[in-house]
A and B are shown apart, each in its own frame.
Chain A
C-alpha cells in the first residue's frame, strides 16, 4: 500500500493552521496536513518521518516563530542530506522586503498569507501542485 501523502505545515499560529487544514481538506481529502507549532517540533517530526519512510511531499514554513524561526529551520533542513530535496514554501504575513530577498536567494518561493478565503483556496491549490 502506498504511503499516505502529507504536507508538513510549521507555524506557531493555531488559527492559520486550522484555516489551511480545513482548506486543504476540502481540496484533497486524501492528503494529510501535519501541523508543527515551531521549527524545532517540525524538525523532530521530519526525523521521525525519515525513519518511517513517510516524508512529506512539501514543507510549508512560517517565518516568525519562537524557538527556531523559518530561516533557522530552512537552514537545518538544507544541511540534512536526506531532507534537502524536499520542496519548501515560505508562507508568511511578514511584509519585510529583506525576507523576500533572503528566500529568493535560497531559491525558495515565498507566499503571503491571504486576506480572504478565496485567495487561501488558490494558495492551497498551488501548494498541492508543488506536492507531486
Chain B
C-alpha cells in the first residue's frame, strides 16, 4: 500500500518493469488521466503516453535509462483517457528489487512550458522578420540614395550645360556680331567718304584689322572652350609642384620677365589630365602677371591643403570626398568681389583692354572636367586669390 503523501503528491509517480508493464502508480496520476488504478496496473506503459511520447519512449527514453541507469529532465506528454495531453517533465531511475529490474519515474506537470515555447518561437520569428525587413529597408534606402546621387549629377550637368548654352548664345548674338558690324561700318565709312586723307583711311583700315582680329580671337577662344567640352580627360598621376615649375618657366619666357616669384608649399600629387591642368594653372598665373600692379613687384603664393568636403553643397550631395585645395594668391590690381561670377564667363572682362576674357572661363571648364570647383576672392588694389578644389581620386 502506497503512503498517502506520495499517493496524493502534486506530481505523478509510476514504475514499470523491463517488459514495459506498469507496476505501480499514484492516485494523482490516475485521477488526472481519468483512469482507475485497476484499469492501469499491469497495462503497457504506452497507455500513459501520447503517440509521439510512446515513440520517444521506445527509441530514446528507455534505451538511455537502461544504459545509464537514469534519465533526467525528459519532456514528454501523458495522454488522458479522453486523449487530451498533459505535458510533464520527467526524471527516471533504474533500481533492482529481488533480482529484477524496476524503472521508477517521477513527473511534474509543466502546463505553461508549451505556451512559453510558442511565445519564444513567435518572438524569434518576429525578430527574424524585423531584421529581414530592416535589411530590405536599408537596401531600399541605399538604392534611393544612389538614384538621388545620379539624378543630382545629371541635374548639375544639365545646369552647367544650360549655363554654357546661354553663354554661347551671348557669344553668337553679341560677341561675334560686334566685330562684324564694325567691319561693315568702317568699310562703309571708307567708301562713302567724300573727302579722305591717307591718314584717315589708314586709321579706318586699322580699325577694320582690329575688328577682324577680335573676331578671330573670339572664334579661337570658342574653339578652345568647345575642345575642352568635347575632349575627355585622360587621367594620370600629376605632380602639381612640377607642373607649377614648368608653367612658371614658360610664363617667364612668354612675358619676358626675369622672375615670377611663385612660392609653393609641398603639394601632393593628384590624378588628373596633365595638359588640362597645365592650361588651368597657366591661365590663373598668367592673369596674375597681366593684372599685376604697375608700381609693385608681383608676388604669387601657391598653397595646397587636403580637405574633406561635403559634396552636398559643392558638387553637391551626400558623399564626403577628399579634395586638394590649391590657392593661388597674388598682390595684383584685384577687382570688386561682387562681380566675381563674371570673371568665369566666356569673354567677360572686368578690366578693359587687358586679356580676352577667356582664361578663367577655360579654367572653370577644366576644373569642372575634373569634378572640382573654382572660386575667386579679390579686393581692388590688394590682390586676387583663386581657389581650386580638385577631388583626389582613389
Contact B173 A95 (CB under 8 A): yes
* Chain B binding surface, main DSSP class: helix
Contact B185 A94 (CB under 8 A): no
Q: A93-B178, A116-B184 are in contact. Are A12 and B170 (CB under 8 A)?
A: no
Q: Mark B333-372, 1 if CB is under 8 A from A, else 0.
A: 0001001001000001110100000000000000000000
Contacts of A95 in B (CB 8 A): 173-174, 177
Query: For this complex, into which size category does the number of interface residues on chain B fall?
Result: 20 to 34
Is A79 in the interface zone, CB < 8 Å from B? no
Max count, chain A CB within 10 A of own CB: residue among B182, B189, B336, B342: B182
State how many residues of chain A have any CB contact under 8 Å with chain B: 21
Max count, chain B CB within 10 A of own CB: residue among A13, A15, A37: A15
Contacts of B192 in A (CB 8 A): 116-118
Is A25 in the interface zone, CB < 8 Å from B? no
Contacts of B350 in A (CB 8 A): 66-67
Is A19 in the interface zone, CB < 8 Å from B? yes
In the complex formed, the residue of B with least CB distance to A120 is B185
* CB contact between A67 and one of B174, B177, B339 (< 8 Å): that residue: B339
Is A115 in the interface zone, CB < 8 Å from B? yes
How far does the alpha carbon of A97 sit from the alpha carbon of B292 in the complex, in Å? 39
Q: A12-B352, A66-B350 are in contact. Are A117 and B181 (CB under 8 A)?
A: no
Rounded to whole Å, the gap between the CB of B356 and the closest CB of chain A is 13
Rounded to whole Å, the gap between the CB of B225 and the closest CB of chain A is 18
Rounded to whole Å, the gap between the CB of B359 and the closest CB of chain A is 15
Contact B349 A115 (CB under 8 A): no
Is A96 in the interface zone, CB < 8 Å from B? yes
How far does the alpha carbon of A113 sit from the alpha carbon of B185 in the complex, in Å? 10
Is A114 in the interface zone, CB < 8 Å from B? yes
Is B188 in the interface zone, CB < 8 Å from A? yes
Rounded to whole Å, the gap between the CB of A33 and the closest CB of chain B is 18
Contact B174 A96 (CB under 8 A): yes
* CB contact between B174 and one of A15, A66, A93, A115 (< 8 Å): that residue: A93
